[in-house]
């Protein structure tokens, strides 16, 4: 039974060595598909004796996933990003699956380390991803953030911190904003190509829903100020997305008629979430703030 480790890269010299160090004893081969990096990424891959292939640059990884998978020769494939790390406990669990089960693909929990903290709520945990599978049992879409299609029998690993893929996600606000700008460009293109037409109400409703789903429904408040900051940033991302669609339609003049209704909906949703099990969150947050000044 042979395992191939596959990684897609573009200018990942800060992350790649840590990533490949964590998988060097896990797989029988390491495949790196690089998008013509301009830093030391390829040199680092060569240091780990990876088989290196090249793919034209794309603004996000999905269009190059299937190409990278086609280069793997193993019976099983472990897909890892350069800013991720495979812990020993997870590696051992995956080998048990590969050598002792009839499973075809595995959903792996992922720990997102954002702004120096493991985010355990706010819809960032357990952040399941299909990253370990028999060859040809998983196929990826060319669209951004679309789950892959699968065939055969799947397995979900229990969300334990020691058996989760480690993701060194956003380390700075600037990094978040840079990716936000790039991804909202792509998402706005996909929405407009899908015949979405700009609705002014969406600049209130969509960002508010994003915030509520992360901070309240996703219990982001349990991550403290980190959770609040991330929910606000995700909310801002939604705002930018729909404003970019407005931009694509030529910044057509919009009246404010109807916005009051949208605003009332947002306020109503806020009171709804405050009235749920998360009641008095704001009071608790304000109390904590007051006790520290």
Give yes or no for a contact between 159 and 125, defined as CB atoms under 8 angstroms apart: yes
d(C-alpha 81, C-alpha 50), whole Å: 14
Query: In terms of domains, do 164 and 245 share one?
Result: no
* Contact between residue 183 and residue 222 where contact means Cβ atoms under 8 Å apart: no
Q: Domain containing 24 — which CATH number?
A: 3.90.550.10
Residues 140 and 211 in one domain: no
CA distances from 99 to 2, 94, 102, 104, 278 (A): 10, 9, 9, 12, 45
Choose among 3, 66, 5, 59: nearest CA to 35: 59
In terms of domains, do 278 and 151 share one? no
Peptide bond into 93 cis (omega under 30): no
Task: Quick: pLDDT tens for 18-76.
Answer: 999 999 999 999 999 999 999 999 999 999 999 999 999 998 899 999 999 999 999 99
Quote the number of domains for the chain.
2
Q: Please tell me whether residues 119 and 264 are part of one structural domain.
A: no
**Residues 204 and 244 grouped into a single domain:** yes
Q: Which domain holds residue 160?
A: 3-168
HSE, CB side, 13 Å, CA atoms: give it for residue 34: 21
Residues 177 and 116 in one domain: no
Residues 154 and 53 in one domain: yes
pLDDT attached to residue 281: 62
Q: pLDDT digit string (tens) for 107-147?
A: 999 999 999 999 999 999 999 999 999 999 999 998 888 99
pLDDT in tens, 232-261: 999 999 999 999 999 999 999 989 998 999
Indicate the residue among 168, 200, 229 that finishes a domain.
168
pLDDT level of residue 287 (50, 70, 90 thresholds) = low
Task: Give the pLDDT confidence score for residue 280 in this predicted structure.
Answer: 59
Contact predicate 166/93, CB 8 Å: no
Spatial CA neighbour of 162 closest among 209, 114, 109, 234: 109
Q: What is the CA angle 107-111-112, rounded to 5?
A: 120
Task: Return the pLDDT at 291.
Answer: 57
Q: According to the model, what pLDDT value does residue 1 have?
A: 87
Of 168, 184, 209, the last residue of a domain is 168
Which residue, of 168, 187, 206, is where some domain finishes?
A: 168
Is the per-residue pLDDT at 285 higher than 80?
no
- Altogether, the residues listed in the chain come to a count of 293
**Confidence band (pLDDT; 50, 70, 90) for 271?**
confident
Q: How much is the average pLDDT of 281-287?
A: 58
Say whether both 43 and 125 belong to one domain.
Answer: yes
Query: Same domain for 100 and 149?
Result: yes
Whether residues 157 and 179 fall in one domain: no
**205 in the same domain as 147:** no
Q: Are residues 55 and 71 in the same domain?
A: yes
């Amino acid at each position: 039974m042979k395992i191939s480790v596959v990684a897609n890269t573009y200018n990942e010299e800060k992350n790649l060595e840590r990533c490949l160090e964590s998988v060097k004893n896990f797989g029988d081969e390491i495949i790196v598909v690089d998008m013509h990096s301009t830093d030391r990424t390829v040199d680092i891959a060569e240091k780990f004796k990876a088989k290196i292939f090249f793919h034209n640059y794309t603004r996000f990884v999905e269009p190059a996933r299937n190409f990278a998978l086609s280069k793997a020769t193993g019976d099983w494939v472990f897909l890892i990003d350069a800013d991720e790390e495979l812990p020993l406990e997870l590696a051992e669990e995956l080998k048990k699956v590969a050598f002792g089960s009839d499973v075809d693909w595995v959903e792996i929990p992922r720990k997102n380390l954002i702004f120096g903290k493991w985010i355990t709520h706010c819809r960032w945990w357990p952040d399941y991803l299909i990253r370990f599978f028999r060859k040809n049992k998983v196929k990826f879409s060319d669209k951004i953030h679309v789950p892959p299609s699968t065939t055969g029998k799947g397995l979900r690993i229990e969300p334990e911190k020691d058996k989760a893929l480690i993701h060194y996600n956003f380390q700075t606000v600037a990094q978040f904003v840079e990716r936000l700008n790039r991804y909202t460009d792509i998402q706005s293109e996909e929405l407009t190509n899908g015949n979405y037409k700009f609705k002014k109400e969406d600049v209130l409703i969509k960002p508010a829903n994003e915030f509520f789903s992360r901070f309240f429904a996703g219990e982001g408040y349990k991550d403290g100020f980190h959770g609040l900051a991330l929910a606000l940033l995700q909310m801002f991302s939604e705002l930018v997305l729909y404003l970019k669609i407005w931009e694509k339609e030529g910044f057509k003049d919009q009246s404010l008629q109807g916005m009051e209704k949208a605003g009332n909906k947002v306020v109503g949703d806020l009171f709804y979430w405050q009235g749920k099990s998360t009641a008095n969150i704001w009071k608790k947050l304000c109390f904590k703030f007051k006790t520290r000044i």
